Protein backbone atom coordinates (compact mmCIF):
# COMPACT_ATOMS: atom_id res chain seq x y z
CA UNK A 1 0.00 0.00 0.00
CA UNK A 2 2.77 2.41 0.97
CA UNK A 3 4.65 1.68 -2.25
CA UNK A 4 1.60 2.45 -4.40
CA UNK A 5 1.10 5.76 -2.60
CA UNK A 6 4.78 6.64 -3.01
CA UNK A 7 4.65 5.85 -6.75
CA UNK A 8 1.59 8.08 -7.14
CA UNK A 9 3.33 10.92 -5.28
CA UNK A 10 6.48 10.47 -7.42
CA UNK A 11 4.36 10.47 -10.58
CA UNK A 12 2.54 13.65 -9.53
CA UNK A 13 5.85 15.34 -8.62
CA UNK A 14 7.31 14.49 -12.04
CA UNK A 15 4.24 15.94 -13.78
CA UNK A 16 4.42 19.17 -11.76
CA UNK A 17 8.17 19.42 -12.25
CA UNK A 18 7.73 18.89 -15.99
CA UNK A 19 5.37 21.88 -16.23
CA UNK A 20 7.32 24.34 -14.05
CA UNK A 21 8.96 26.18 -16.96
CA UNK A 22 5.67 26.28 -18.88
CA UNK A 23 3.98 27.80 -15.83
CA UNK A 24 6.62 30.56 -15.76
CA UNK A 25 6.08 31.06 -19.50
CA UNK A 26 2.36 31.50 -18.91
CA UNK A 27 3.09 34.11 -16.24
CA UNK A 28 5.14 35.93 -18.91
CA UNK A 29 2.10 35.79 -21.21
CA UNK A 30 -0.24 36.93 -18.46
CA UNK A 31 1.96 39.91 -17.65
CA UNK A 32 2.14 40.86 -21.35
CA UNK A 33 -1.63 40.60 -21.70
CA UNK A 34 -2.13 42.55 -18.50
CA UNK A 35 0.23 45.23 -19.84
CA UNK A 36 -2.01 45.55 -22.90
CA UNK A 37 -5.12 45.85 -20.74
CA UNK A 38 -3.53 48.59 -18.62
CA UNK A 39 -2.47 50.42 -21.78
CA UNK A 40 -6.00 50.21 -23.20
CA UNK A 41 -7.12 51.87 -19.97
CA UNK A 42 -4.46 54.57 -20.52
CA UNK A 43 -2.22 53.44 -17.66
CA UNK A 44 0.93 53.36 -19.77
CA UNK A 45 3.35 53.44 -16.83
CA UNK A 46 1.93 50.21 -15.40
CA UNK A 47 1.96 48.67 -18.89
CA UNK A 48 5.63 49.59 -19.22
CA UNK A 49 6.48 48.01 -15.85
CA UNK A 50 4.56 44.82 -16.70
CA UNK A 51 6.53 44.38 -19.95
CA UNK A 52 9.76 44.33 -17.94
CA UNK A 53 8.31 41.96 -15.36
CA UNK A 54 7.36 39.66 -18.26
CA UNK A 55 11.01 39.85 -19.30
CA UNK A 56 12.10 38.54 -15.90
CA UNK A 57 9.78 35.56 -16.16
CA UNK A 58 10.92 34.95 -19.73
CA UNK A 59 14.49 34.80 -18.47
CA UNK A 60 13.57 32.38 -15.68
CA UNK A 61 11.51 29.94 -17.76
CA UNK A 62 14.43 28.96 -19.96
CA UNK A 63 16.81 28.73 -17.01
CA UNK A 64 14.39 26.50 -15.12
CA UNK A 65 13.79 24.27 -18.16
CA UNK A 66 17.52 23.73 -18.63
CA UNK A 67 18.24 23.33 -14.91
CA UNK A 68 15.49 20.74 -14.41
CA UNK A 69 16.19 19.12 -17.79
CA UNK A 70 12.57 19.59 -18.88
CA UNK A 71 13.08 21.33 -22.22
CA UNK A 72 10.47 20.33 -24.78
CA UNK A 73 9.24 21.22 -28.22
CA UNK A 74 5.91 22.19 -26.67
CA UNK A 75 7.68 24.56 -24.25
CA UNK A 76 9.67 26.13 -27.08
CA UNK A 77 6.52 26.80 -29.12
CA UNK A 78 4.60 28.08 -26.09
CA UNK A 79 7.46 30.40 -25.17
CA UNK A 80 7.49 31.91 -28.65
CA UNK A 81 3.74 32.51 -28.68
CA UNK A 82 3.95 34.19 -25.28
CA UNK A 83 6.99 36.25 -26.32
CA UNK A 84 5.11 37.60 -29.33
CA UNK A 85 2.49 39.06 -26.97
CA UNK A 86 4.84 40.32 -24.25
CA UNK A 87 7.73 41.58 -26.40
CA UNK A 88 6.16 42.13 -29.81
CA UNK A 89 2.61 43.36 -29.42
CA UNK A 90 2.81 44.98 -25.95
CA UNK A 91 5.92 47.15 -26.56
CA UNK A 92 4.73 48.12 -30.05
CA UNK A 93 1.35 49.10 -28.64
CA UNK A 94 3.00 51.06 -25.81
CA UNK A 95 5.09 53.14 -28.21
CA UNK A 96 2.10 53.56 -30.50
CA UNK A 97 -0.01 54.82 -27.60
CA UNK A 98 2.73 57.13 -26.34
CA UNK A 99 3.93 58.70 -29.58
CA UNK A 100 3.37 56.91 -32.89
CA UNK A 101 -0.40 57.51 -32.88
CA UNK A 102 0.32 61.17 -33.69
CA UNK A 103 1.64 60.12 -37.11
CA UNK A 104 -1.63 58.48 -38.16
CA UNK A 105 -1.38 55.64 -40.70
CA UNK A 106 2.46 55.72 -40.90
CA UNK A 107 2.57 55.29 -37.11
CA UNK A 108 0.27 52.29 -37.45
CA UNK A 109 2.44 50.81 -40.20
CA UNK A 110 5.63 51.09 -38.12
CA UNK A 111 3.81 49.47 -35.19
CA UNK A 112 2.66 46.56 -37.36
CA UNK A 113 6.08 46.13 -38.98
CA UNK A 114 7.64 45.64 -35.53
CA UNK A 115 5.07 42.98 -34.62
CA UNK A 116 5.43 41.19 -37.98
CA UNK A 117 9.24 41.14 -37.78
CA UNK A 118 8.99 39.80 -34.22
CA UNK A 119 6.74 36.97 -35.44
CA UNK A 120 9.17 36.17 -38.27
CA UNK A 121 12.09 36.17 -35.82
CA UNK A 122 10.31 33.76 -33.48
CA UNK A 123 9.18 31.45 -36.28
CA UNK A 124 12.73 31.28 -37.64
CA UNK A 125 14.08 30.52 -34.17
CA UNK A 126 11.56 27.70 -33.73
CA UNK A 127 12.55 25.88 -36.91
CA UNK A 128 16.33 26.14 -36.57
CA UNK A 129 18.67 24.19 -34.36
CA UNK A 130 20.13 26.39 -31.62
CA UNK A 131 23.94 26.36 -31.76
CA UNK A 132 24.69 28.72 -28.87
CA UNK A 133 24.20 31.91 -30.90
CA UNK A 134 21.02 33.72 -31.84
CA UNK A 135 20.46 34.72 -35.46
CA UNK A 136 19.05 38.21 -35.31
CA UNK A 137 18.29 40.21 -32.19
CA UNK A 138 15.96 38.25 -29.88
CA UNK A 139 12.45 39.68 -29.64
CA UNK A 140 12.82 40.00 -25.86
CA UNK A 141 15.75 42.37 -26.31
CA UNK A 142 14.13 44.32 -29.14
CA UNK A 143 10.81 44.60 -27.27
CA UNK A 144 12.43 45.78 -24.06
CA UNK A 145 14.52 48.33 -25.97
CA UNK A 146 11.44 49.63 -27.76
CA UNK A 147 9.49 49.80 -24.50
CA UNK A 148 12.36 51.74 -22.91
CA UNK A 149 11.51 54.49 -25.39
CA UNK A 150 8.59 55.22 -23.09
CA UNK A 151 11.07 56.79 -20.68
CA UNK A 152 12.40 59.24 -23.27
CA UNK A 153 9.25 60.50 -25.02
CA UNK A 154 9.65 63.97 -23.53
CA UNK A 155 13.31 64.17 -24.53
CA UNK A 156 13.35 62.91 -28.12
CA UNK A 157 11.40 64.02 -31.22
CA UNK A 158 8.47 61.75 -32.10
CA UNK A 159 9.85 60.63 -35.47
CA UNK A 160 12.80 59.03 -33.65
CA UNK A 161 10.47 56.23 -32.50
CA UNK A 162 9.61 55.34 -36.09
CA UNK A 163 13.35 55.10 -36.75
CA UNK A 164 13.90 53.05 -33.56
CA UNK A 165 11.02 50.75 -34.44
CA UNK A 166 12.27 50.05 -37.96
CA UNK A 167 15.89 49.56 -36.85
CA UNK A 168 14.85 47.05 -34.18
CA UNK A 169 12.55 45.33 -36.69
CA UNK A 170 15.37 44.89 -39.19
CA UNK A 171 17.76 43.70 -36.48
CA UNK A 172 15.28 41.01 -35.39
CA UNK A 173 15.10 39.51 -38.88
CA UNK A 174 18.74 40.14 -39.75
CA UNK A 175 21.31 37.36 -39.94
CA UNK A 176 23.69 38.88 -37.41
CA UNK A 177 24.90 36.34 -34.87
CA UNK A 178 24.58 37.11 -31.17
CA UNK A 179 26.16 34.72 -28.71
CA UNK A 180 23.87 33.65 -25.87
CA UNK A 181 25.15 34.48 -22.40
Residue 41: which domain range? 2-179
pLDDT tens, the chain, 181 aa long: 555 555 555 555 555 566 788 899 999 999 999 999 999 999 999 999 999 999 999 998 888 888 888 888 888 899 999 999 999 999 999 999 999 999 999 999 999 999 999 999 999 999 988 777 788 999 999 999 999 999 999 999 999 999 999 999 999 999 998 887 6
Query: What is the number of structural domains in the chain?
Result: 1
| Per-residue model confidence (pLDDT) at position 65 | 81
CATH number of the structural domain spanning residue 156: 1.20.120.1760
CA separation for the pair 173, 5 (Å, rounded): 51
Burial of residue 73 (CB within 10 Å: 0-12, 13-18, 19+) is exposed
Non-local (6+) Cβ contacts of 80 within 8 A are 122, 123, 125, 126
Distance CA(65)–CA(63), nearest Å, equals 6
Closest C-alpha among 99, 94, 97, 100 to residue 153: 99
Amino acid sequence: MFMLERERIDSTFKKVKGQTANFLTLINLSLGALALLFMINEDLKTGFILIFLAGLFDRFDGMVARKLNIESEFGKQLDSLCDLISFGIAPAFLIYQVVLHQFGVPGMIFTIIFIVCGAIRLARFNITEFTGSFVGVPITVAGCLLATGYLTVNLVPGFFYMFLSIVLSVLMISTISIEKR
